[in-house]
């Protein structure tokens, strides 16, 4: 839990209080017991003739004791709430993966067999080895090969005609030639046709098989 | 004659021999990593992040297969692999186990895989049934195998939601005009049983085979992999969110964060540092770095889970070559929002709280340089032949200038 300590001066005594709740409570009882001892001493001395000053000193000490009790209670409360900058809120990093794998409907998947997953991450602050990132993207066409490709005839310089040829990459693979249209696709057997005429008018696809 | 958008008709690419296919894809990935290392800043205080697009590992049939009865193949590290997926992961592990990559994080795109379970049928062509689909991103921390035990270096990021674009859907017959007709995988007219049907079209399944996927977890964790189920991970005290394409659009990381808050902050995510792994709560300040591996996705403002001053990086595999751009208020549906475009995107979000207003500011990161992966002209087409299309754009590396991490 908390490791830091602080000293609380109390009358002539010094009581070391740790910050967690349990130790604050022990601090409280320690303070209380010490004051009870003082009060007993004072009471025993009170049996002797006492002066007015002693009476006021005893009242002041009792008042101080009461104040310190309140301070300790408040301190105990504050140290266990988010008001305390040293307070560590429950972090998802500290959840036990084993616990959630058994208790939660959210399953933990793909746990490696080669190493036992740690039940808690380290509480020390993470080290940041990398300060920058350099990304290198690999551009390569990974879609299907077009079954037909355009080519421009060079019969006339002024008027170039576009011709469509079967893509040699798809030759011999007619059985898996496919059509992509409007997020739909299909394939057909190319050897059944010689020519294909495809026209698209609005959202209607019309097939004309020639030859 | 054919008119229309030629991109509408596509075929899967890949080699018929799955092992050769995997090796070729790994070879290209290795080339990219090596070039990235050459271009990277060597300062040890800078974490390097290598980010590849979705669908990098897909295969000729639309998905690599899990099969139980496949012949075992001994890998270089001595591990016996009985599936395509094992070969992929084993190959990637060898890339990252290198002293040069101690300060690197790798998100190697995604792996599409389907478990082919045997199904008794008179027609032997239909003796397999694909009913488990997974799309996941292998994520690794680089490490020195001589000094590190490798614990907490390997992760799996499963994609949660199926996109309509994740798979191509076979149609029974070209003459069938109803191209939206759902596929019945029991139909004998399907010509190639090896091509996986689109799970999205199978009864509008919108999530990957999550329940069965969980069963694979034990096998993967036995190899030292850790699941990033919620899209969140802490690496060396840096909080990351990692999403795959559609998961970003549907706010997976953000939903996790919000759900965690309202349920009492009990969700635990993996945290890796110093060769150990622990389980921690999702940090309240959100992610310092967000990563998205996608194919047809942009950075979505409403999905961001960035800490103040945090960055998101997205790499797309469809329009990967588009230069990044930003616009504000152009979409009538979202008149007061930013929109981001481009193949490689990086955005910084800053929060501003004044006496009268609370806003987020977005800054697109244009501080980068593109490099061709292969210097020799047209060599890239040779290198990619058979596994990636050479009709689109040549592979490049987008190297960003280092950015600060805000702790």
The 10s digit of each residue's pLDDT in B126-172 is: 445 555 677 889 999 999 999 999 999 999 998 877 655 565 544 33
For the segment A116-166, what is each residue's pLDDT rounded down to a tens digit?
444 444 445 667 899 999 999 999 999 888 888 877 655 555 566 667 888
For A22, the token pair is 């349990």
Q: Are B10 and A145 in contact (CB under 8 A)?
A: yes
Q: How confident is the model at residue B210 (pLDDT cuts 50, 70, 90)?
A: low
**Which residues of chain B make contact with A96, given a CB cutoff of 8 A?**
none
Q: How confident is the model at residue B73 (pLDDT cuts 50, 70, 90)?
A: low
What is the rounded distance in angstroms from the CA atom of residue B158 to the CA atom of residue B214? 10
Helix (H, G, I), strand (E, B) or coil at B2: coil
For the segment A160-211, what is each residue's pLDDT rounded down to a tens digit?
666 788 888 888 765 455 544 333 333 332 333 333 333 333 333 333 333 3
pLDDT at A156: 56
What is the rounded distance in angstroms from the CA atom of residue B291 to the CA atom of residue B231? 10
Q: CB-side exposure of A203: number of CA atoms within 13 Å?
A: 4
List the single residue in A with minimal CA-CA distance to B345.
A137
Strands B306-316 and B287-294: parallel
The count of CB pairs under 8 A between chains A and B is: 339
What is the rounded distance in angstroms from the CA atom of residue B116 to the CA atom of residue B132? 8
Mean pLDDT across B203-207: 51
- Cβ-proximal residues to B94 (8 Å cutoff; 6+ apart), any chain: B76, B77
Percentage above 70 pLDDT, chain A = 25
Answer yes or no: is pLDDT of A32 > 70: no
pLDDT at A63: 83
Nearest to B1 among A136, A188, A197 (CB): A197
Residue entry with tokens 């549906």: B333
For the segment B303-350, what is each residue's pLDDT rounded down to a tens digit?
999 999 999 999 999 988 999 999 998 877 778 889 999 999 999 999
Helix (H, G, I), strand (E, B) or coil at B233: strand
Mean pLDDT across B166-189: 37
Q: Is A84 exposed, middle or buried (0-12, 13-18, 19+ CB in 10 A)?
A: middle
Answer yes or no: is pLDDT of A71 > 50: yes
Residues 127-156 of A with CB under 8 A from B: 127-150
Q: How confident is the model at residue B1 (pLDDT cuts 50, 70, 90)?
A: very low
A77 touches chain B (CB under 8 A): no
For B218, the token pair is 């034990």
Considering only residues B399 and B71, tell me which one the structure prediction assigns the higher pLDDT: B399
Q: Are B136 and B158 in contact (CB under 8 A)?
A: yes
Mean pLDDT over all residues of chain B?
82
A47-56, A179-188, B17-26: least confident range: A179-188
For the segment B41-70, what is each residue's pLDDT rounded down to a tens digit?
999 999 999 999 999 998 888 888 765 444
Q: Are A210 and B1 in contact (CB under 8 A)?
A: yes
Mean pLDDT across B175-189: 32
Selection from A147, A188, A180, A177 nearest residue B171 by Cα: A188
Selection from B56, B61, B225, B64 nearest residue B140 by Cα: B225
Q: Are B368 and B398 in contact (CB under 8 A)?
A: yes
Whether A199 sits inside 8 A of B177 (CB atoms) is no
Answer yes or no: is pLDDT of B113 > 60: yes
Answer yes or no: is pLDDT of A76 > 80: no
Q: What is the largest CA-CA distance in chain A?
A: 133
What is the rounded distance in angstroms from the CA atom of residue B165 to the CA atom of residue B8? 11
What is the rounded distance in angstroms from the CA atom of residue B134 to the CA atom of residue B124? 25
Q: How confident is the model at residue A13 (pLDDT cuts 50, 70, 90)?
A: very low
pLDDT at B30: 98
Q: Are A205 and A198 in contact (CB under 8 A)?
A: yes
A96 touches chain B (CB under 8 A): no
List the single residue in A with minimal CA-CA distance to B311.
A133
- Mutating which of A108, A109, A143 best tests the B interface, going by the most B Cβ atoms within 10 A? A143
ipTM of the complex: 0.86
Alpha helix positions (H), B17-101: 18-39, 84-96
Contacts 24+ apart (CB under 8 A), A13-17: A17/A72, A17/A75
What is the rounded distance in angstroms from the CA atom of residue A175 to the CA atom of residue A179? 12
What are the CA-CA distances from residue B43 to residues A133, B38, B71 (Å)? 10, 13, 44
Whether B10 sits inside 8 A of A147 (CB atoms) is yes
Q: Using alpha carbons only, give the angle B138, B193, B118 rounded to the nearest 5 degrees.
A: 75
Whether B1 sits inside 8 A of A210 (CB atoms) is yes
List b or e across B245-262, with b for residues whose CB sees 16 or more CB atoms inside 10 angstroms.
Answer: bbbbbbbbbbebbeebee
> How far from the centroid of its chain's Cα atoms is residue B112's Cα?
9
Q: How confident is the model at residue A10 (pLDDT cuts 50, 70, 90)?
A: very low
What are the CA-CA distances from residue B28 to residues A139, B33, B35, B83 (Å)? 12, 9, 11, 20
Distance from CA of A9 to the nearest CA of B (A): 41
Answer yes or no: is pLDDT of A57 > 60: yes
**DSSP designation for B161:** B
pLDDT at A166: 83
Answer yes or no: is pLDDT of B81 > 50: yes
DSSP letter string, A151-209 = EEE-S-SSS-EEEEEE-GGGTT-GGGEEEEETTEEEE--GGG-SEEEEEEETTEEEEEE
What are the extents of the domains in chain A? 5-79, 148-210
A95 touches chain B (CB under 8 A): yes
Q: Are B92 and B52 in contact (CB under 8 A)?
A: no
Considering only residues B376 and B396, tell me which one the structure prediction assigns the higher pLDDT: B396
**Which residues of chain A make contact with B60, given a CB cutoff of 8 A?**
173, 176
**Which residues of chain A make contact with B321, given a CB cutoff of 8 A?**
139, 141
Other beta carbons within 10 Å of B38: 10
Answer yes or no: is pLDDT of B82 > 90: no
List b or e across A46-77, with b for residues whose CB sees 16 or more CB atoms inside 10 angstroms.
Answer: eeeeeeeeeeeebeeeeeebeebeeebeebbe
Q: Using alpha carbons only, give the angle B333, B337, B341 rounded to the nearest 5 degrees.
A: 95
For the segment B337-386, what is each residue's pLDDT rounded down to a tens digit?
899 999 999 999 999 999 999 999 999 999 999 999 999 888 999 999 99
Q: List beta partners, residue B229.
A: none
For B41, the token pair is 């800043």
For the segment B259-296, what is each residue's pLDDT rounded down to a tens digit?
999 999 999 999 999 999 999 999 999 999 999 999 99
Mean pLDDT over all residues of chain A?
53
Answer yes or no: is pLDDT of A91 > 60: no
Helix (H, G, I), strand (E, B) or coil at B7: helix
For the segment B216-262, what is each residue's pLDDT rounded down to a tens digit?
766 777 778 998 888 999 999 999 999 999 899 999 999 999 999 99
Mean pLDDT across A74-101: 42
pLDDT at A165: 81
Helix (H, G, I), strand (E, B) or coil at B137: strand
């Amino acid at each position: 839990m908390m490791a830091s300590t602080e000293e609380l001066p109390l009358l002539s005594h010094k009581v070391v209080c740790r910050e967690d709740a349990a130790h604050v409570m022990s601090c409280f009882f320690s303070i209380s017991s010490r004051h009870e001892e003082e009060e007993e001493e004072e009471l025993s001395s009170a049996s002797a003739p006492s002066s007015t000053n002693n009476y006021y000193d005893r009242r002041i000490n009792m008042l101080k004791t009461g104040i310190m009790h309140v301070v300790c209670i408040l301190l105990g409360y504050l140290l266990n709430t988010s008001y305390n900058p040293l307070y560590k809120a429950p972090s998802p990093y500290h959840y036990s993966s084993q616990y959630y794998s058994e208790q939660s409907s959210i399953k933990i998947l793909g746990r490696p067999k080669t190493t036992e997953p740690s039940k808690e991450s380290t509480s020390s602050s993470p080290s940041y080895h990398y300060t920058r990132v350099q990304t290198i993207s690999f551009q390569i066409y990974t879609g299907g090969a077009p079954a037909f490709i355009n080519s421009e005839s060079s019969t006339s310089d002024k008027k170039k005609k576009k011709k469509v040829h079967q893509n040699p990459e798809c030759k011999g693979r007619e059985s898996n030639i496919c059509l992509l249209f409007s997020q739909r696709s299909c394939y057909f057997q190319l050897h059944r046709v010689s020519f294909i005429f495809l026209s698209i008018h609005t959202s209607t696809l019309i097939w004309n098989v020639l030859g | 004659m054919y008119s229309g958008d030629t991109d509408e008709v596509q075929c899967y690419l890949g080699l018929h021999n799955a092992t050769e296919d995997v090796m070729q894809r790994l070879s290209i990935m290795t080339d990219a990593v090596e070039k990235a290392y050459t271009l990277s800043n060597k300062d040890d205080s800078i974490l390097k992040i290598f980010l590849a697009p979705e669908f990098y590992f897909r295969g000729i049939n639309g998905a690599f297969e899990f099969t139980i009865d496949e012949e075992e193949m001994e890998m270089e590290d001595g591990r016996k692999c009985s599936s395509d997926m094992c070969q992929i992961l084993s190959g990637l592990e060898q890339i990252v186990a290198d002293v040069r990559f101690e300060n690197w994080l790798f998100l190697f795109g995604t792996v599409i895989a389907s478990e082919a379970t045997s199904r008794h049928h008179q027609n032997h062509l239909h003796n397999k049934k694909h009913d488990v689909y997974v799309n996941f991103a292998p994520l690794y921390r680089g490490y020195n195998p001589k000094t590190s035990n490798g614990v907490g270096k390997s992760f799996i990021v499963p994609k949660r939601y199926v996109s309509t674009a994740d798979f191509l859907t076979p149609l029974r017959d070209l003459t069938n005009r109803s191209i939206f007709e759902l596929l019945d995988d029991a139909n004998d007219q399907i010509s190639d049983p090896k091509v996986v049907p689109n799970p999205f079209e199978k009864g509008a399944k919108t999530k990957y085979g999550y329940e069965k996927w969980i069963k694979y977890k034990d096998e993967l964790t036995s190899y030292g992999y850790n699941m990033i189920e919620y899209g969140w991970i802490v690496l060396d005290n840096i909080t990351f969110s990692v999403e795959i394409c559609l998961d970003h659009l549907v706010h997976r990381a953000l939903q996790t964060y919000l759900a965690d808050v309202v349920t009492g902050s009990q969700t635990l995510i993996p945290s890796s540092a110093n060769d150990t792994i622990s389980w921690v709560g999702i940090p309240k300040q959100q992610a310092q770095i967000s990563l998205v591996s996608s194919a047809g996705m942009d950075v979505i403002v409403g999905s961001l889970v960035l800490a103040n001053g945090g960055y998101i990086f997205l790499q797309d595999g469809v329009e990967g070559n588009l230069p990044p751009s930003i616009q504000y208020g152009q979409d009538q549906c979202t008149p007061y929002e930013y929109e981001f475009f481009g193949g490689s995107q990086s955005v910084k979000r800053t929060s501003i709280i004044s006496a009268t207003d609370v806003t987020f500011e977005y800054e697109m990161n244009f501080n980068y340089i593109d490099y061709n992966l292969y210097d020799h002209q047209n060599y890239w087409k040779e290198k990619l032949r058979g596994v990636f299309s050479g009709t689109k754009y040549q592979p490049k590396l987008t190297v960003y200038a280092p950015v600060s991490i805000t702790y």
